Amino acid sequence: MSPDTRRTVHSKCGTLRKHPAMPRRRYRRVSDEDRDRIITQYEAGEDFIFTAAELRIPRTTAYEIIRKFVETGERRGRHGGGEPPVLDDEAKDFWVMLVEATPTITIRELNHTLRQTFPNKPHVCNMTVSRALDGELITLKQVHNVPANRNSEDVNAARVSLSQYMYEDGIQQPRVYVDETGYNLYTCRTYGRAPRGQHVNTIVAGQRGSNVTLIAAIYTLVSLFYYEIHVISVTKEVLKNFMTSLDFVLGPEAAVILMDNAPCHAGIEQEFEDRVIKKLHPQSPFLNPNENCFLVLKATVKRQLNNKADR
């Protein structure tokens, strides 16, 4: 409050009066009605400080109300609290558009692009950009690479063809799903708990374990019913031996065998002409229940690693 304004205020107050003591309390917003009463007392030459005390408004707040009235003539306060926002909706919409176009763009790149595109807008720090994206419900997530032809027209048409076959004929027959997966004997839990600021360290051998390959067959009537474990990669010869054993286990059962289009599966239909073998279409692993089986198996093995044992 300037000295001239303070002298003007005291000259209209007249003689000083003893004001009632105000208890200490938390700040609350002064309503427009209370501001108008204080200004009215000031214009009438009355003691507006006494009126502010009756309204439980601090003395400094009352002086600030009068100062703004003297300088600007405003009788109403600014609602909303705090300073006006630095970022407008145009900047936020611009960042959202950039994220939708390039999800892997960084906060630094977003801020730099905004400054180049709108040089007249106020400069903000990268943390402000991050908070603005949080307000737009945009968060940081892990990137998943999706093959370009995963949902192409040809692949979708092939899925529709297989779905029609399964709906008309396949669902009425027993089905056997065959698939293979690689597994490392050195597998371990990748998450653990420790006090804040400390790493989770475990003592392990210096060498990684050997890789094994699991070939499994899931029967729709009895779930997982046959599997083999090999210490070498699955080749056409290994798959042929597996299918020979599977054919013996199935016996005369007329079951449809479904598998994906892995390179080692090529030409397997000619080796077992007495069996109905259908190939799942490319980029369609979700059509094979073996994938879920392998996920459960690996999670179960990791869960058992809490029991200390020699590898």
DSSP 158-197: HHHHHHHHHHHTGGGS-EEEEEEEEEETT---------TT
- Strand, helix or coil for residue 219: strand
More confident residue, 64 or 5: 64
Closest CA to 21 of 63, 62, 49, 2: 49
d(CA 257, CA 245): 14
For residue 223, CA distances in Å to 32, 161, 189, 193, 238 come to 74, 25, 27, 35, 23
Residue with tokens 């031996």: 241
Question: Is a pLDDT exceeding 70 seen at residue 208?
Answer: no
* Residue-wise pLDDT tens digits, 145-170: 766 666 677 777 777 777 777 777 76
Predicted local distance difference test score (pLDDT) of residue 110: 93
Write down the residue that tokens 């109905």 correspond to: 276
Residue 262 and residue 156: Cα distance in Å, rounded?
Answer: 19
Q: How far apart are CA 42 and CA 12, in angstroms?
A: 7
For residue 304 the two structure tokens come to 């058992």
29, 50, 132, 137, 211 from 91: Cα distances, Å: 30, 47, 9, 15, 52
pLDDT band at 13 (very low <50, low <70, confident <90, very high): very low
> What mean pLDDT comes out for the span 115-131?
90
Q: What is the DSSP letter of 15?
A: S
Average of per-residue pLDDT values in the chain: 78
Q: Where are the domains of the chain?
A: 3-72, 89-135, 153-192+209-304
φ/ψ (deg, to 5) at 138: -110, 120
**Residue 27 reports pLDDT greater than 80:** no
Q: Percentage of the chain surpassing pLDDT 70?
A: 77
Report the topology of domain 153-192+209-304: Nucleotidyltransferase; domain 5 (3.30.420)
Q: Which amino acid is at 158?
A: A
Hey, what are 277's tokens?
């073998």
Q: Do residues 213 and 180 touch, judged by C-beta distance below 8 A?
A: yes
Distance CA 298, CA 311 (A): 16
Specify which residues 278 forms β-bridges with. Answer: 258
Handedness of CA 195, 200, 201, 204 (dihedral sign): positive
**For 252-281, how does the pLDDT look when each residue is reduced to its tens digit (9 = 90+)?**
777 888 888 788 888 888 888 888 888 777
Q: What is the DSSP string of 66-135?
A: HHHHHHH---SPPPS-SSPPSS-HHHHHHHHHHHHH-TT--HHHHHHHHHHH-TTSPP--HHHHHHHHHH
Buried b (16+ CB within 10 A) or exposed e, 59-85: eebbbebbbbbbeeeeeeeeeeeeeee
Cβ 280 vs Cβ 261: under 8 Å: yes
140-151: pLDDT as tens digits: 888 887 666 666
